[in-house]
Structure 1
Amino acid sequence: MASHIGKLPVAIPAGVEVSIEGQNFSVKGSKGSDSYTIPEGITGAVEGDQIVLTPADDERQTRAYHGLSRSIIASMVKGVHDGYTKTLDIIGTGYRAQMKGKGIEFSLGYSHTITVQPPEGIEFELPNANQVIVKGTDKQVVGQAAANIRKLRAPEPYKGKGIKYTDEHILRKAGKAGK
């Protein structure tokens, strides 16, 4: 029995070039290019405007890699065609960010500023001093770069101050009982 996810074909949008040479898979689009090595026991083929992955045998591990490979390839195709973005909000009095070259300099209530340089293939945007947009073609690297920025000052539960994802909901605590 093949993986439920792995047996689904990956649609190739217009403007995206796909090449498979043995176990090496590469994709090129308007936003960039990416490559991935398909694990042994799984073969890939381009059939029309779809990518189809087939497992050679029905071992449990091959089945797991089958679904994983399909998910990674689907993410790569979407990344080089549309790209990925993560938006972070900076909340708190005096908390702000500003561009410094390709990096961002954060003022987050510490005695010093923190400068973050973008990893390879990642781009930062600042629409205003309290919002950071992380863009790139690799879903994993975009998510990790955003998580590293959020980690600089994670949102706290009492006032909600810190760096949070735009779509993140912070559970608030009541605090002291008051007078």
Structure 2
Amino acid sequence: GGILALVAFYMELPVWSIMVVLLIRSAGTAFHSPAFNAATPMIVPKEELTKCAGYTQTMQAVSAIISPAAAAFLYAVWPLNAIILLDIVGAILACVTVAISSIPTPELCPETKRQQFLQDMKEGYVVLKQNRGLFALLWIGVIYMFFYMPISTLFPLISMSYFKGTPAHASAAEIAFAVGMLLGGVILSIWGGFK
């Protein structure tokens, strides 16, 4: 991100450089998301986990609603390198927050210390397979991530290129998805889900 900001000071950013940064960011997210999901049950009481998931989804949806409008506004008043620097400042603040937060470290049983990652994955899969609902949900999530996530990044391009829309139309499409997430998150936060 910082390199992109520096390059943007001197020249127009080539598309390939943005793609490289997005690739690195996606690789980081592949580690960040599981770590975040694994840390949550260590911090949140068991009976509040479903509501916490609702709060998390609500915050993500609010962010997804605000982000397109904020991005369109900032793009109109700031140069691209300033927007990239703002992203870097946000990442630094997030890292500092995590660094000063107290996240408990679970104690491992002596026999599990020697187990390898693939063995742990296999055992977890076997446990999930015993619960039909969770097992189905796992594969629905996998299929969703595999097909929808790559397509979702192209929605703004589809809105503007294929449907001949404007950045406002692209933002409206993103906001519509985010509103659905927001409603789902609010309902889950209030309701708490099934037993």
Q: Which has the higher helix share?
A: 2
TM-score interval, smaller chain:
under 0.3
Which protein has greater RCO, CA pairs closer than 8 Å, 6+ apart?
Answer: 2
TM-score with structure 1 length normalisation? Answer: 0.22
